[in-house]
């Protein structure tokens, strides 16, 4: 393939990834237990709140690793 077609293909893939990430952020509250697992840190105070979903991040990382290994295994 010519370089300009490769760049175009990469831009299309990047656009799909950005749209997918945007939809995920938009609908993340509808998914049960995301950010509310045991081990996720939620602190509330007078001036605001702090959320650190460490267990949710670890579980999502494991799931994405498995999915990507299935697709990109050589």
3-state secondary structure of 34: coil
Q: Which residue has the higher pLDDT, 51 or 2?
A: 51
* pLDDT above 70 for 74: no
At 4-39, the pLDDT tens digits run 888 889 999 999 999 999 998 888 778 787 778 899
Q: What is the pTM of this model?
A: 0.60
* pLDDT above 70 for 55: yes
Dihedral of alpha carbons 40, 43, 44, 48, sign: negative
Residue 54: the pLDDT is: 93
Q: b/e map of 12-48 (b: 16 or more CB within 10 Å)?
A: eeeeeeeeeeeeeeeeeeeeeeeeeeeebeeeeeeee
């Amino acid at each position: 393939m010519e370089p300009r077609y490769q760049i175009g293909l990469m831009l299309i893939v990047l656009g799909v990834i950005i749209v997918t990430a945007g939809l995920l952020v938009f609908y993340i509250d509808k998914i049960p237990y995301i950010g509310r697992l045991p081990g996720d840190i939620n602190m509330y105070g007078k001036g605001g709140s702090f959320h650190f979903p460490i267990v949710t991040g670890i579980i999502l990382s494991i799931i994405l690793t498995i999915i990507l290994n299935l697709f990109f295994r050589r």
